[in-house]
Structure 1
C-alpha cells in the first residue's frame, strides 16, 4: 500500500508541476530536491535537505484561520528541525515565477542561478509575510495581489 507521500507524488497539482519545472536549473546545478518529502509528522511539498530549505505552495485553504494556525504550527516544527520554510501562494508560482525563482535562489544562497533577464521580484512578493523565515515570522491572512514579473500566465490551482 502506498504511503501518503507516495500518493501525493503521483497526483501533483498544476502548481506543483510548475514549481518542479522552475527548480530544474537548480536541480541540474547541484541542488537535490525531493517532492512530497516526509519530515517528522508532516509531508512537505519540496525539500532540499542539504540546504535545509522547504518550499510550500499554498492554495486558498491556507488563508483561513484554521489553515494559518496549522501552517504556523507546522512551520515552527520544521524550523525546530533546522529548516528554512518558503511559502508561496499558487497564484505567485503561476503568475510570478521569476520572483518565486529569485526568492528560492536567495533562500539557497544560490545567487549565481539568477539570470539577469528574470529581473528582481515584485516588492510586494518580498514583504507579504508568507516567507516564514523572516525575523518577524508574521503570516498575513490576505491573498496577494496579482503579480506579473516574467510574463507568465497561469490559472487557479487547488
Structure 2
C-alpha cells in the first residue's frame, strides 16, 4: 500500500479513542499488546488513510474491529471495509459480546487470520 498521509485531525482522534476504549476493546488489547498473542505485533486505534482501525497488524495486513450493536447492518462499515480492502487489508469483525464472553475463541481466530493470508473474513 502506498503511504497515505494521515491528517492531524485523524491522529488526534485516534489518541482520544485510545483513552476512551470500550470494555471489549480494553480486554482484547490486554491480549494483543506487546506481542502477547503468538508474538504478533498489533497497534491499537491506528489511523489508516481516512479511517481509524481498532487494531491493526501491518505485517499480516489485518485489521480487527470490535463492534457494538450500532454496527449491525451498517452501510458505512461496508463502504469502509471495501476501502480498506482496496488498500490491501482484510477486516475481521467481532461483536463486543464475542470478546467479553469467549476471548479465547476470538484470539484463536485472530491468530489463524494473521498467520494465513488466504483466509477471508466472514462478515
Query: How far off its partner does 1:51 sit?
Result: 1.1
Residue aligning to 2:95: 89
What is the TM-score with the length of structure 1 in the denominator?
A: 0.64
Residue aligning to 2:4: none
Residue aligning to 1:49: 58
Determine which of 92, 117, 120 is the counterpart of 1:133. Answer: 120
Q: Residue 32 of structure 1 aligns to a residue in which SS?
A: coil
| Partner Cα distance (1:27, 1:82) in 2 | 22
| Partner Cα distance (2:110, 2:41) in 1 | 13
| Partner Cα distance (1:73, 1:83) in 2 | 13
Query: How far off its partner does 1:99 sit?
Result: 1.0
Superposed counterparts of 1:10-29, under 5 Å? 10-24=19-33, 27-28=35-36, 29=38
Determine which of 33, 37, 48 is the counterpart of 2:46. Answer: 37
What is the TM-score with the length of structure 2 in the denominator?
A: 0.81
CA deviations 1:99-119 (Å, max 9, x no partner) are 101110110117xxxxxxxxx
Number of aligned pairs?
A: 111
For structure 2, the 5+ residue unaligned runs are 1-8
| Partner Cα distance (1:32, 1:106) in 2 | 14
| Partner Cα distance (2:39, 2:63) in 1 | 16
Query: How far off its partner does 1:133 sit?
Result: 2.9
Residue aligning to 1:80: 86
Q: Residue 21 of structure 2 aligns to a residue in which SS?
A: coil
- Of Structure 1 and Structure 2, the greater strand share is in 2
